[in-house]
Structure 1
Amino acid sequence: MSPITHMLVGWVGLERLQLGRRDKAIVVLAGLTPDLDGLGIVIDFATRTFGLAETDYYQAFHRMYGHGLPAAILIAALAAALGTRRYRVACCAFVSVHLHFLCDLIGSRGTTSEDTWGIYYLAPFSTAYEVSWPGQWPLVGWQNMLVTVVLLSVALWRATNLGYSPLALISERADTVFVATLRKWRKQCSFQE
Structure 2
Amino acid sequence: MSPITHFLVGWVALERLQASPRDKALVALAGVAPDLDGVGIVVDFATRTFGLPETNYYQEFHRMYGHGLPAAVVIAAMCAALATRRAMVLGCAFVAVHLHFLCDLIGSRGSTPQDIWGIYYLAPLSPKPEFAWAGQWPLVGWQNMVITALLLAWTFARATRTGYTPLALVSARADAELVATLRRWRGGIGWL
TM-score above 0.5 = yes
Give the equivalent residue in structure 1 for 2:45. Answer: 45
Give the equivalent residue in structure 1 for 2:101. Answer: 101
In structure 2, distance between residues paired with 1:128 and 1:23: 33
Secondary structure at 1:63 match in 2: coil
Aligned runs of 1:79-90 on 2, under 5 Å?
A: 79-90=79-90
Q: CA deviation at 1:146?
A: 0.8
Give the equivalent residue in structure 2 for 1:57. Answer: 57
Amino acid at match of 2:166: P
Give the equivalent residue in structure 1 for 2:22. Answer: 22
Runs of 4+ residues deviating >4 angstroms: none
Q: 1:140-175: per-residue Cα shift (whole Å, max 9, x none)?
A: 111111111111110000011111111111111211
In structure 2, distance between residues paired with 1:124 and 1:14: 27
How many residues get paired? 190
Give the equivalent residue in structure 2 for 1:188. Answer: 188
Aligned runs of 1:132-171 on 2, under 5 Å?
A: 132-171=132-171
Q: Percent identity?
A: 70
Query: Normalising by the residue count of structure 2, what TM-score does the alignment of the two structures yield?
Result: 0.97
RMSD of aligned residue pairs (Cα, Å): 0.7
Aligned runs of 1:97-136 on 2, under 5 Å?
A: 97-136=97-136
Amino acid at match of 2:47: T
Secondary structure at 1:11 match in 2: helix
Amino acid at match of 1:91: G
Q: CA deviation at 1:41?
A: 0.3
In structure 2, distance between residues paired with 1:131 and 1:70: 15
Secondary structure at 2:188 match in 1: helix
Secondary structure at 2:32 match in 1: helix
Query: Normalising by the residue count of structure 1, what TM-score does the alignment of the two structures yield?
Result: 0.97
Structure 1: 5+ residue stretches without partners: none
